[in-house]
Amino acid sequence: MYPLKRNRRLRNTQSIRSLVQENHLSLDDLIVPLFVVEGAKIKEEIPSMPDYYRMTLDFLVDEVTELWKLGLKSVLLFVKVPELLKDNKGTEALNPKGLMQLAIKTVKKACPEMLVMTDVALDPYSSFGHDGIVEEGEILNDATKEILAKMALSHAQAGADFVAPSDMMDGRVEQIRELLEAEGFHHTGILSYSAKYASSFYGPFRDALDSAPGFGDKKTYQMDFHNRKEAITETTLDIEEGADIVMVKPGIAYLDIIRDLAEQIETPIAAYQVSGEYAMLKAAAAKGWIDYDAVVYEQLIAFKRAGASLIATYTAKDVARILDKV
């Protein structure tokens, strides 16, 4: 009891604070999302994501080389598909010479040890901008998961280390795992977006890929953000179906979900600090209203404290610089 117990003793100097610090951030924890576009010599800034770019394969080589030198060792690939290649079934997603497949090969050639993760979902390929096949205004579950499994296989064949289904169809992890096993891809992992909420924080990402839903919203497949318990149902099911890593998305507004899961499961948990979160940080920083580096660091530590061991974040390159300072 006070004054025998003075909590400030453990805060008195940086040395004692370092000694008792519970959570740490390292570049080893980070996954870098990358946006790839068709063409050559294009590196265009995404308007709602300052300092973040869509790039063609030639610039992708430079980017991953730079990331590797900085100490960033995993990337998550997304592609922007030209309008005329889009259809209801996402046919282009299965093209062995499609942009995603080429991007995987490009990264692996430029930087063989870079861990390559790929987004598995129909929305960038869908003429409706939905994550599934549309029939009379409905998003079909079972027909979609068959295509997702083929898409995952195609990424594995191109050399992806992990496939990351971000669609929220029921049963898709099992379907993907079974097909990968049947085709001999025992080592290809699955990072499942298992608790992915129907969120308004994805706006800038949909600008980046031109993938906003053409009608309606994604509430019949992505989770309802009023709910907590179903995150556990979704995630435990994905683990049973074969997910190696599970993910909560968006990030900072969903720390309670990360904590719930951390208390219940042993599978590694990833957090996704999404595009809208990045946009907010950048906008406030541009106004001079927040100290960008300090707030980024504080938020990423919050993910670790909540129980995430991995973080997908658009700030990864900034973190390489920030960690040099702290």
C-beta of 189 vs 204, nearer to ligand PBG: 204
Binding of ligand PBG at residue 119 (CB under 6 A)? Answer: yes
Closest to ligand PBG by CB, 12 vs 200, is 200
C-alpha distances (whole Å) from 234 to each of 76, 142, 173, 179, 239 are 22, 17, 11, 21, 9
- CA distances 243 to 34, 37, 65, 96, Å, are 22, 29, 29, 24
Q: Is 249 considered catalytic here?
A: yes
Nearest-approach distance from CB 235 to ligand PBG, in angstroms: 17
Let me know if 196 is a catalytic residue.
Answer: yes
CA end-to-end span of the chain, whole Å? 33
Quote the least distance from Cβ 139 to ligand PBG, whole Å: 12
The region, left, alpha or beta by phi > 0 then psi within -120 to 50, assigned to residue 74 is beta
Is 52 a binding residue for ligand PBG by CB under 6 A? The answer is no
Q: How many residues bind ligand PBG (CB under 6 A)?
A: 12
φ/ψ (deg, to 5) at 129: 70, 25
CA 26/CA 51 separation, integer angstroms: 22
Catalytic: which of 89, 145, 218, 249?
A: 249
Contact (Cβ atoms closer than 8 angstroms) between residue 158 and residue 186: no
Beta carbon of residue 206, minimum distance to ligand PBG (angstroms, whole number)? 6
Residue 121 CB neighbour total at 10 angstroms: 26
Which of the residues 196, 218, 304, 317 is marked catalytic?
196
Please, are residues 297 and 22 in contact by the beta-carbon 8 Å criterion?
A: no
**Site for ligand PBG contains 260 (CB under 6 A):** no
Instruction: Determine, following the binding rule CB under 6 A, whether residue 234 of this chain makes contact with ligand PBG.
Output: no
Which residue spans within the chain are E strands per DSSP? 30-37, 43-46, 49-55, 74-80, 115-120, 133-135, 138-140, 162-165, 189-196, 245-249, 269-273, 310-313
Residues 154-173 that bind ligand PBG (CB under 6 A): 166-167
Burial class (CB in 10 A: 0-12, 13-18, 19+), 22: exposed
CB of 195 to ligand PBG, least distance (A): 13
Nearer to ligand PBG, 58 or 210 (CB): 210
User: Binder to ligand PBG among 57, 116, 121, 195 (CB under 6 A)?
Assistant: 121
Residues 211-230 as x/- pattern, contact with ligand PBG by CB under 6 A: -------x------------
Between 121 and 300, CB nearer to ligand PBG:
121
- The stretch near ligand PBG (CB under 6 A) out of 36-44, 118-126, 146-154, 300-308 is 118-126
Give least dist CB 17 to ligand PBG, A: 33
Alpha helix stretches (DSSP H) within 210-274: 229-241, 255-264
Beta-bridge partners for 311: 30, 271
Nearer to ligand PBG, 218 or 304 (CB): 218
Is residue 59 involved in binding ligand PBG (CB under 6 A)? no
List Cβ neighbours of 100 (8 Å cut-off, separation of 6 or more). Answer: 36, 77, 79, 93, 118, 155, 158
Q: Which is nearer to ligand PBG, 54 or 218 (CB)?
A: 218
Helix (H, G, I), strand (E, B) or coil at 47: coil
Q: Residue 170 half-sphere exposure, CB side, CA atoms within 13 Å?
A: 7
The verdict on 205 binding ligand PBG (CB under 6 A) reads yes
In whole angstroms, what separates CA 288 from the centre of its chain? 28
Least spacing, CB of residue 131 vs ligand PBG, in Å: 5
Fill in the per-residue mask, 174 to 203: x = in contact with ligand PBG (CB under 6 A), - = not in contact: ----------------------------x-
Is position 131 an interface residue for ligand PBG (rule: CB under 6 A)?
yes
* Dihedral pair phi/psi, residue 144, rounded to 5°: -70, -40
User: What is the contact surface with ligand PBG in residues (CB under 6 A)?
Assistant: 119, 121, 123, 131, 166-167, 202, 205-206, 218, 274-275
Query: Hey, which residues are catalytic here?
Result: 196, 249
